[in-house]
Amino acid sequence: MAGPGGLAARRGSARGVVISDDWPGYSLDLFTYPQHYYGDLEYVLIPHGIIVDRTERLAKDIAQDIGDNDIVVLCVLKGGYKFCADLVEHIKNLSRNSERFISMKVDFVRLKSYHNDKSMEDMQIMGEDDLSDLRGKNVLIVEDIIGTGRTMKALLNNIEKCEPKMIKVASLLVKRTSQPDGFRPDYYGFEIPDIFVVGYALDYNEYFRDLNHICVINDQGKAKYRV
């Protein structure tokens, strides 16, 4: 599957766009982005417009699979909020223009699993006291990015204890990792190389959330915002 400028990607077998390891990305000079991040980024991995179009297609796939069932959308904060908001809006638009009405309630859970650009062994779940409300419900978890899958597996384990009727997972990004048993969501937008990315609400120590494109941060940016 080729995108603008020759995006080195192909259609994945699990309904996702696969961006190859040798994809050089887009030059930052081709796009506008916040001036306070000048010098902190390597390149644009996925432009905002492609994210929007891909999210619209994911919404169509999810709406077709869910039918007219009521669902609880569980947004994983903080990185998932922008993807979740856009995905839910697309699903609502499809529902309004369809004979099948999808009733959605959006709830939130916050996970913390990174220190700087390194994944931590221990994952913290904030807001899990409310998970008991998911009993007997159709749940769609919306995440920004899945790497090793350890964080998502831990969250799913907690949710499954509450005995929901159904659980589906949608993630904007999936990282290719060396782990052969890595978790695969039911829906995902892009499979990317094992690199650290920011933008479209994905952060590095709370910075870069206001960046519309998904970009690769450089060493200067990591050093500048390290904690």
Where does the chain show beta strands of DSSP type E? 9-11, 17-19, 41-46, 71-77, 104-115, 118-126, 138-146, 166-175, 187-192, 197-198, 214-217
pLDDT of residue 112: 66
Question: How many Cβ atoms sit within 10 Å of the Cβ of residue 200?
Answer: 25
pLDDT of residue 127: 56
**CA 67 to CA 163: how far, in whole Å?**
21
pLDDT of residue 4: 38
Are 135 and 107 in contact by the 8 Å Cβ rule? The answer is no
Residues pairing with 142 in the sheet: 75, 170
Residues pairing with 132 in the sheet: none
Question: How many Cβ atoms sit within 10 Å of the Cβ of residue 64?
Answer: 11
Q: Which residues of the chain have pLDDT under 70?
A: 1-15, 112-130, 178-182
pLDDT of residue 121: 52
Sheet holding 41-46: strands in order across? 41-46, 214-217, 197-198
Are 123 and 113 in contact by the 8 Å Cβ rule? The answer is yes
pLDDT of residue 133: 81
pLDDT of residue 39: 95
pLDDT of residue 110: 84
Domains recognised in the chain with CATH numbers: 9-224 (3.40.50.2020)
pLDDT of residue 1: 36
pLDDT in tens, 107-153: 988 876 555 555 555 556 665 556 778 888 999 999 999 988 888 88
**CA 66 to CA 96: how far, in whole Å?**
15
Q: Tokens 């306070």 label which residue?
A: 36
Q: Tokens 């179009």 label which residue?
A: 53
With CA atoms as reference, report the closest residue to 191 among 218, 217, 214, 219: 214
Phi and psi at residue 4, in whole multiples of 5°? -60, 140
